[in-house]
Amino acid sequence: MGFPKDFLWGAATAANQYEGGYVSGGKGLSVQDTVTGGDGIHGIPRMISIKYADGTTGELPLKFGSEIPSGASAYVDENKYYPSHVATDFYHHWKEDIALFGEMGFKSFRLSLNWTRIFPNGDEEQPNEEGLKFYDQIFDECAKYGIEPFVSMNHFDCPLHLATKYDGWANRKVVDFFMKYVETILTRYKGKVKYWMTFNEINFCRGYQMIGITEAESNEQKLNQAIHHILIASAKAVKLTHEIDPENKVGMMLAYLLSYANTCNPDDVLAEIDFSREIKDFYLDIQCRGYYPNYKIKEFERKGIVLEKEEDDDQVLMDGTVDYIAFSYYNSHVISATPVGESAGGNHMMGIKNPYLESSEWSWGIDPKGLRVALNKLWNTYQKPLMIVENGLGAKDTVAEDGAIHDTYRIDFLRKHIVEMEKAICEDGVELIGYQAWSAIDIVSAGTGEMRKRYGFIYVDKDDDGNGTLARIRKDSFYWYKKVIASNGEDLE
């Protein structure tokens, strides 16, 4: 009983929320570098804000076709605050941070690579050597501590130049640019990285901030075409990952939005099925089975959506099925056929509030048993090894007078989820290869740009406006997780 002996305990991060160094070492601008802070902070909304060489400024949505002048720092507005520019500065703290991960006993560490650190504009012929070297150091440092890197090729990240010149993923050419980047990193890090994931939360790769396309919400034809390009790119990346090193394992990464029907009224049940298909099953079906499911084909027929496909696209999808399913799990969703009840909060949350659950400070319903449900549903449907690559609690932490951070609420959240995870493995026979909490260390919130919404085991001294020393402090959860890992999940107290 208990967790498998080689269970991959660890935690996760994402480049645009953690790395900083946004124009250091030859890095180019990514769309995320043009997103300002602000959501809920001082009542200012977040926006995409950019300054052109002629001094004019643009705000969301950016003009498609805008020419980007050279000199990356010319493209952001110095009067605005952009959280990704420094983030929590992994760029300058990587040695110290990885040492702390080693001290916690991490077996694995998930990070994403900044596409624009390697191809600053996205469409160059040659990669940026300095950017490649940056990640060499990271992987070498992880190896010193016996930490297995899990690399997301793309975490809500699109070079700004690809957005403004090509309209991002709406343009098929971006598949080729992406594949050049993928081939570069797979070749360079062969032997250093074994576990790969293609697109973070592929079911939320939509909209300007994520994939650099305009009109994403209003033009379903265009959005579905862009999603098709992303699925093709993912499948090609899977195939190439195996070709470059047959030892590699490559997974898809999904936001697992577990949903419950509000009542046993068949209309609610059907509404939940529709929700599930739209928001997650489609991505799972296509990446695990290799073809568009019938319900999607029917939906396209009903809506008059016709995808432009290249001749071998169907084969590409078939040849690019994944080795494992990586997913994030934060909360669950209640779906009703009719608008009833209070609407719920959550990451990418839809649906209504679940009266059986407690909520986080950000109103996300806390549902540890839902994790067991999710694991069972995924395993029973696809029979592919599973990997939890995000699970955690966003909360406001305070530094106590003794200088410590007593985050018992976080420990409680994680403990309850780990208990359910163990049941899924030991009682239900689910094949789960590892667990990565979100996040290894405090990083900027993806949804709101806030710093005060913290997830990490390590506190970083920085506030919502970007002030702070960036000093690192171990939270109580740091010592707790260290014990959990050392006891392979036996000691959860």
Closest separation between CB of residue 336 and ligand BG6, Å?
23
Kindly identify the residues of this chain, within the stretch 430-459, that bind ligand BG6 according to CB under 6 A: 438, 445-448, 453
* Contact pattern for ligand BG6 over residues 244 through 273, marking x by CB under 6 A: -----------x------------------
Asked if 209 interacts with ligand BG6 (CB under 6 A), we say: no
Q: Using CB under 6 A, which of 116, 171, 200, 321 touches ligand BG6? A: 200
Cβ proximity to ligand BG6, 105 vs 392, nearer residue = 392
Give me the half-sphere count of Cα atoms (radius 13 Å) on the Cβ side of residue 88.
Answer: 32
Alpha carbon 449 to its chain centroid, in Å, reads: 14
Is 201 designated active site? yes
Is 247 designated active site? no
Query: Which residue number is nearest to ligand BG6 in terms of Cβ?
Result: 447
Closest separation between CB of residue 181 and ligand BG6, Å?
20
Token pair for 432? 């789960």
Cβ proximity to ligand BG6, 4 vs 447, nearer residue = 447
* Contact pattern for ligand BG6 over residues 134 through 173, marking x by CB under 6 A: ----------------------------------------
Closest separation between CB of residue 229 and ligand BG6, Å?
20
DSSP string, 311-341: TTHHHHHHHT--SEEEEE---EEEE-SS--S
Asked if 201 interacts with ligand BG6 (CB under 6 A), we say: yes
E strand segments, 361-451: 365-366, 386-390, 432-438
3-state secondary structure of 100: helix
Cβ proximity to ligand BG6, 261 vs 414, nearer residue = 414
Asked if 36 interacts with ligand BG6 (CB under 6 A), we say: no
Token pair for 198? 């293609």
Cβ proximity to ligand BG6, 88 vs 328, nearer residue = 328
Q: In whole angstroms, how far apart are CA 5 and each of 2, 410, 468, 473, 489?
A: 9, 25, 40, 30, 10
Cα Rg of the chain (Å, integer): 21
Q: Cα–Cα distance between 399 and 388 in angstroms, integer?
A: 29
Taking each helix axis as running N to C, give the angle between helix 173-188 and helix 220-244, from 0 to 180 degrees, rounded to the nearest 10.
Answer: 30
Q: Cα–Cα distance between 262 and 464 in angstroms, integer?
A: 37
Asked if 13 interacts with ligand BG6 (CB under 6 A), we say: no
The residues binding ligand BG6 (CB under 6 A) are: 14, 17, 200-201, 255, 328, 347, 390, 394, 438, 445-448, 453
Q: Would you please indicate which residues are annotated as catalytic (active-site) residues?
A: 201, 390
